[in-house]
Amino acid sequence: MRRLVIIGDHFMRSDMFEKAIRQKCPKADLDIIRHDLDWPDRPMEHGYAQAGMAGLKEYMGSEEGTVALIDGAEILVTHLAPLSASIMDRCPSLKFVAVSRGGPVNIDMRAARQRNIIVVNTPGRNASAVAEFTIGAILAETRLITRGHDALRRGEWRGDLYRADRTGEELSEMTVGVIGYGEIGTRVVRLLKAFGCRILVADPYVQLSASDHADSVEQVALERLLAESDVVTLHPRVTKETEKLINAETLAQMKPSAILINTARGPLVDYDALYEALKDKRIRSAMLETFAVEPVPADWPLLKLENVTLTPHIAGASVKTVTYAAGLAATEVRRYLAGEPPVNRC
């Protein structure tokens, strides 16, 4: 029998991955061992290097605990388990890893390549969920849903939110700027088209589709997008180029009435600069789903501002995300067992 270990959690559940693998590999002689980590009930490590884990991000588990789970396994399917060079050295049987996320940030990829360990991922696993959530975030800010909710929670009836000089605009009369046009950005644009808004896209590495051109989507430089957009929504990957893309300089290029939406990654934003811009009303409001430090500190200044909506990094949380990722991982396992090349090798 070939040993396969699944390290899931309370979101990416190991039983759902085993079900998908059994369905895709009905004739495989597999010894499947499952374990679920305590995320999201307990926070993961967000890149604060622990001993032996330098360079790894967004993981949960220690070296000793991870080795105890995967020692002797040929195949690992996981979401958050860390794989450092030291862990790989202590688990010489490991040959194939399917990591259920868009980027294998919890794995030392250089060490994996040096040890001929195949690593695959599940790109686009939560693209649909995040895109839908982004539309909800935009509506919450443009139509003052959060402001009304917060007031009622305090026992206040905000009739003034109906005033013509205060009420929110409709998307049909707004310009929405989408920064980053990958799996999620393209889905956000597809959903936005139904609202009839003007759509601008800034991404130097992609081209618009024929349908985008037919629907009057415009690809523009970042500077123009910031200057003309009523809503700016972020969807790029975090790279050296995009870290703190939203900063004092770029915030100054936005309209005073503009709204910022971040359902992507915390490092895209200079949160100190954003706080100052929101406090001084140099932009209208923001909806923030991801943060530079998670969980956010209880005394974080942005928690105190009325013109900010905050959620605890839940945009990608849907059952479809899990089932889709499980299906992708199971297909990769089947291909590995059959001696076929992977589809999404990292």
Mean of the per-residue pLDDT values of the chain: 95
Q: Is the pLDDT of residue 48 over 80?
A: no
Question: What does the block give as tokens for 267?
Answer: 């490092």
Put the strands of the sheet holding 175-179 in their side by side order.
218-219, 198-202, 175-179, 231-234, 259-262, 285-288, 308-310
CA-closest candidate to residue 233, choices 270, 196, 188, 190: 188
Give the dihedral sign, CA 82/87/89/93.
negative
Q: Is the pLDDT of residue 52 over 90?
A: no
In order of 13, 20, 147, 183, 250, the CA distances from 97 in angstroms are 16, 16, 45, 23, 40
Query: Sorting pLDDT into bands at 50, 70 and 90, what band is 317?
Result: very high
For the question of whether the overall pTM of this predicted structure is more than 0.85, the answer is yes
**Active-site annotation holds for 313:** yes
Question: What does the block give as tokens for 7?
Answer: 């390290």
Cα distance between residue 58 and residue 104, in whole Å:
9
User: Of these residues, 64, 173, 223, 294, which one is catalytic?
Assistant: 294
Query: Sorting pLDDT into bands at 50, 70 and 90, what band is 292?
Result: confident
Annotated domain spans of the chain: 2-125+318-337, 127-310
Query: Sorting pLDDT into bands at 50, 70 and 90, what band is 93?
Result: very high
Q: What percent of the chain has pLDDT over 70?
A: 99
Which residue has better confidence, 45 or 37? 37
CA-closest candidate to residue 59, choices 79, 30, 38: 79
**Active-site annotation holds for 153:** no
What is the average pLDDT across 282-295?
Answer: 92
pLDDT of res. 289: 96
**Active-site annotation holds for 79:** no
Matching CATH topology for 2-125+318-337 and 127-310? yes
Q: Is the pLDDT of residue 297 over 80?
A: yes
CATH fold of 127-310 reads Rossmann fold (3.40.50)
Q: What is the pLDDT of residues 198-210, one digit of tens each?
A: 999 999 999 999 9
Side chain identity at residue 243, one-letter code: E
User: Of these residues, 13, 79, 198, 265, which one is catalytic?
Assistant: 265
pLDDT of res. 177: 98
What is the average pLDDT across 148-175?
Answer: 93
Q: Which class does domain 2-125+318-337 fall in?
A: alpha beta
User: Of these residues, 147, 187, 235, 313, which one is catalytic?
Assistant: 313
